[in-house]
Structure 1
Amino acid sequence: MAVAVLCQLDDGQHVKNIYWNYHCYSAEIVWEDDDTVIINGVLFENVEKDIYDFRRDK
């Protein structure tokens, strides 16, 4: 069975995928402020622009 974690930002008008990791069972999410979040150790300094997608992490 393949599992993945997908985290999205939803501002009420738009939904944006910011984190997608394969073979992952859960997400630890820590918001530092309105723009900065850490998801499973991946730092997003600007959640409006930054993304993590396991397919791009080679």
Structure 2
Amino acid sequence: MYEKVIGIWPEIQTALGETFYMLSVTIFLGIIFGGIVGTALYLTREGSFLAII
């Protein structure tokens, strides 16, 4: 069994690297866009001085 795992280990490493890359990009974009949307919603809430816009 371990021979099979050892045989495909380079593919596993590549897949893990691609997965962590996708996660890091989406987490970064989520923080950026989520921060922008959250700030806009906070500033334009009812009773805020920017709610007139």
TM-score computed with the length of structure 1 as normaliser? 0.18
Relative to total residues, which structure has the larger strand share, 1 or 2?
A: 1
Relative to total residues, which structure has the larger helix share, 1 or 2?
A: 2
Q: Which has the higher contact order (CA 8 A, sep 6+)?
A: 1
TM-score computed with the length of structure 2 as normaliser? 0.18
Greater CA radius of gyration, 1 or 2? 2
